Structures are given as structure tokens and as C-alpha cells.
Structure 1
Amino acid sequence: MPEISLTVLILLCLAAAAAGWIDAVVGGGGLLLLPALLLSLPHVPAAHILGTNKAVAIVGTSGAAVTYVRKAPVQVGTAVRIGLTALAGSMCGAFFAAGISSAVLRPVIMVALLAVGAFVMLRPAFGRNEAEDTAPVTRARIVTAIVLVGGGIGFYDGLFGPGTGTFLVLALTAVLHLDLVTASATAKIVNVCTNAGALAMFAYQGTVLWQLGALLAVFNLAGAMAGARMALRKGSEFVRGVLLVVVFSLVAKLAFDQWSV
């Protein structure tokens, strides 16, 4: 583990807890923890930062997934099928991650997040109540979710990662007509699989700081379980509000990172 001051370590632990909370409610926790790791460990190769982030994220996401499955109406079979495809996609993405520059990906992610935020603002009923959408969840929609949501977002998660949970929530809500709480619950199961696939590849390549990851994972797990319980208690309108705050905050952060260099 690289040498880290106590102050920086405490700040990283707090960032991991906050990222776990955000990720459990609506996804996107990686857009908080990943920049924190990059800023705190400027001399550590990017592949090691990405690998360590996955080691942290999989623990918090798994804790949130267990909390959701016990209390939310999740279609576990569908979630697992999407997740297995996402696992394969994330392994492929992680394989190519070493050659990717974050400066190239930031503008793409900013545009995608702005589109997500605008869509949610213009569609206030989006994801509020599954029963309001009468379109049937056909086999074709499930196949679309498996291939595009699982494979596509899974590949992105292995390649870069930040915002994956947010993209999963929005995609699952749109394709499978889930309310936002159920979509968040389903996304957690899928996200466990994408994290597992990417982490397996990073571990194989030897690009994980295991000691640091284990410490941050404890705080990430605590934040994730607290966030999942709060989302279940407060419902879809709360999740929608957090989603909008997270999306526009993260766009601002990415813009600052992109143009302050």
C-alpha cells in the first residue's frame, strides 16, 4: 500500500461511506470515490486506482443488494440474467482499461449525465409508479435489457466505471418499466456482477491495492446499507430527488476536473 497520511486516509474513508450511500440510493458513488482516490494517490497508476475502486465498490454494492432483496419486490431471476451478461461485459472492459485516458472519457460522461438529468426533469412521473406504465414487459424487453443494459453498461463499468449505477437505474426503469426503488434494487444485483467481473480482471493483472481497498470497503458497506434502508423507507420520489442532485453535482465535478488541468 502506498504511504498515505492519516488526514488523507480519514478523508478517503468518509468519501467511501458517502459513495456507498449514494450508490445504494441511486448509483453513481464511483464518481465520488474514484476522483477522491485519484487526487489522494497522484503517483499511483490509473489501473491500480480503478482496481482498488472495484474492490471497495463490490462490498458496498453487495450489502445494499442483500438489503434490497430482503425488502423490495425484485425479480431476482431477471436481475441475475442481466448481471451475468454484465459480468462478461465488465471483464472485457477491464481488459482494455489500462490504455484508456480519463481526459477522453470525461466529456462523454458529462454529456450522458446531462441527458439523464434533463430527461428526469422533463418526465416528473418517470419511475414514480410502475403501475402508471401500461406497456407490458415482454420477452423482447427482457432480452434488450440483458444485451444492452447488461452487456453495454457492463463493458463501460469495467472500462471506466463511474456513474454505472445511475445508468443502470435509468436504463432498467426505461426498458423494464420498474419504479425507481425497484430499479435501484435490481441495479444493485447487476452491479455486483459487473464489479465482480472487473475486479477479477484487475486482480489477475495485479492492479488492486488490497489493504487500502479492505479498509475503505468497511466504510463503503456501512454507507451502502444505510442508503438502501433510507431508499426503501422514503420511496421513489426521494430516489428521484437524490438522482437529480447527484447527476448535476457530478457533472459540475467532472467539468471542473476536465478544464482545471
Structure 2
Amino acid sequence: MDPLSLTTLLAAAAMAGWVDAVVGGGGLLLLPALLVAAPGVPVATALGTNKLAAIAGTSTAAVAYARRTKIDWAVAGPAAGLAVVTAGLGAALAGVVPASAYRPVVLGVLVAVAVFVVARPRLGVVAQPQRRTRGRVVAAVAVAGLVVAGYDGLIGPGTGTFLVVAFTVLVGADFVHGSAMAKVVNAGTNLGALVVFAATGHVWWLLGLAMAVCNVVGAALGARMALRRGAGFVRVVLLAVVVVLVAKLGYDQWVA
């Protein structure tokens, strides 16, 4: 890899860490950047290397959030534990399920998320603790630990965004606290997927570790900014990330 490509990739890793720490979706930046910088790398190796960088960033962000805000561990803890296993299973199937099978579904869900968030401008800006019933807690754990975690193992980009929205809608968290819980669960999904990719030899360790350092720097800055600027800021970033994800998946679907 030439110096310019490497520098660009490491910068993308830092930016991806920032986006992931605020609202998720950093994989949208980092995975394509890795494939462009190393066009000959197998997709599975790109996914595994991306997970090595991502787990460093999400873990850093999770610690930063835990130090400065209260995390609902009754939701985030079980969901993260379940996510390790589910994401690992998803990673094992990553090369089996064709992109054409899931891309339209994910695109539809993202459009629905964008419409829902725009239509409800107060969603996530203020916490709604009355939503946190036992049934909703179970639903949040299942959605985050099974559905979203499985998606992360299979594909990845947008996982953090889905988690933030799930925690906001299901248990009434504001966007800052929803993002804090999302980082804990996302660390679990990254761990599960990384173990599988590493076991099958699909991790480029030296490059992944360099990307991880940059991802950590971006994640630390992103978490601090989200905590300092509040739920309104996170909401704006969330909408921006969803729009970009929709555009990217829509383009992929169109050219497929």
C-alpha cells in the first residue's frame, strides 16, 4: 500500500471512530476506504480488519460514556452478551448470503427510520422513562442482541445507528443515553464478529492495529462532543448518517 493510500485510510479510520461514537455508521466510511486503498483484499478480510479497528473505537467510546453518563446496564448488559454470540454467527455466514438478498430490506428500514425521526422532532431529545416497561426492556434486548447484532456480523455499516434508534424508541432513552448503550452493545457485536474472522484468517493485523489507533482517537473526540453538545446534536448527526446510508445502499441497489 502506497503512503498516500495508507494516510487516507488512517484518516478515514479516525473519522469513522468519531461518527461511530456519536451515533454509529462509521463502517460506511471505513469499509469502502479500506476496499479502495487495498483493492485486492478479499471482502471477508476487509470485514475482519474493519472489526479490529471498530472494536477499539467502540470500546473507547463506551468507556467515555460510562464515565460521564448513566448507562442502563439492565438493557445494555444482556444485549451485549447476546450480541457476541449472534454477531459471531452472522460473521460465519457473511460470505454465504448474497448482498442482493438483504440490501432492499435494509434500505427500506433506513427510509422508515429517517421518516420516523423527522416526523417526531422530539424523539430522543428528551428521555421518556415511562416507556421503560419490563416488556419493552425484553424487546430492546432481543432487537439489539439478536436482530441488529446478526446484521452487524453479516454486513456491519449502520449498526450503531440502528441500536440508537432501537433504544430510543423501545425504552424511551434520549439520543445521548441511547448512544451510550449502543456503544456497549456494538463492542459486543464487534467482538463476536472479530473472533470468527480471526479464527478463519480474515484479519490483516498490522494494518488493523494502525487503523485501531486512529479509530480510538476519533472515538474519544466523538464521545466527548456528543456528551458536551447533547441529544439535539446527536439527532442531527443521526439523520445525516441515515441519509448517507440510504444514498449509498440505493446506489448499490441501482447499479447491481
Q: TM-score, normalised by structure 2?
A: 0.95
Q: Relative to 1, partners in 2 of residues 1:134 and 1:157: Cα closer, same or farther, differing over 3 Å?
A: closer
| Root mean square deviation of aligned Cα | 1.5
In the alignment, residue 109 of structure 2 is paired with which amino acid? A
**Distance in structure 2 (CA, Å) of the matches to 1:77 and 1:212:** 36
Structure 2 residue aligned with 1:190, among 165, 176, 185?
185
Task: Name the stretch that deviates more: 242-251 or 50-59.
Answer: 242-251
The match for 2:68 is 71
The match for 1:88 is 85
Task: Name the stretch that deviates more: 119-128 or 98-107.
Answer: 98-107
CA-to-aligned-CA distance 1:165-186 (integer Å, 9 cap, x gap): 0000000111111000000001
Instruction: Say whether residues 1:22 and 2:12 are aligned partners.
Output: no
The match for 1:230 is 225
The match for 2:147 is 152
**Distance in structure 2 (CA, Å) of the matches to 1:105 and 1:151:** 16
Q: Determine helix, strand or coil for the equivalent of 2:24.
A: coil
Q: Determine helix, strand or coil for the equivalent of 1:98.
A: coil
In the alignment, residue 130 of structure 2 is paired with which amino acid? A
**Distance in structure 2 (CA, Å) of the matches to 1:100 and 1:52:** 20
**Distance in structure 2 (CA, Å) of the matches to 1:140 and 1:134:** 14
Instruction: Say whether residues 1:106 and 2:119 are aligned partners.
Output: no
The match for 1:170 is 165
In the alignment, residue 152 of structure 1 is paired with which amino acid? V
Q: Relative to 1, partners in 2 of residues 1:211 and 1:134: Cα closer, same or farther, differing over 3 Å?
A: closer
Structure 1 gaps, min length 5: none
The match for 1:211 is 206
Structure 1 residue aligned with 2:136, among 137, 141, 145?
141
Give how far 1:78 is off: 2.7
Give how far 1:32 is off: 1.2
Q: Determine helix, strand or coil for the equivalent of 1:208.
A: coil
Q: Determine helix, strand or coil for the equivalent of 1:127.
A: coil
The match for 2:48 is 51
Q: Determine helix, strand or coil for the equivalent of 2:94.
A: helix
Q: Percent identity?
A: 50
Give how far 1:136 is off: 4.1
The match for 1:39 is 36
**Distance in structure 2 (CA, Å) of the matches to 1:224 and 1:235:** 16
**Distance in structure 2 (CA, Å) of the matches to 1:102 and 1:36:** 19
**Distance in structure 2 (CA, Å) of the matches to 1:204 and 1:258:** 31
Q: Determine helix, strand or coil for the equivalent of 1:214.
A: helix
Give how far 1:65 is off: 0.4
Between the two proteins, the alignment pairs up a number of residues equal to 256
Structure 2 residue aligned with 1:116, among 113, 116, 120?
113
The match for 2:57 is 60
In the alignment, residue 83 of structure 1 is paired with which amino acid? A
Structure 2 gaps, min length 5: none
**Distance in structure 1 (CA, Å) of the matches to 2:218 and 2:86:** 27
Task: Name the stretch that deviates more: 105-114 or 186-195.
Answer: 105-114
**Distance in structure 2 (CA, Å) of the matches to 1:6 and 1:258:** 33
Give how far 1:111 is off: 2.1
Q: Contact 2:89–2:150 (CA<8 Å) still a contact in 1? A: yes
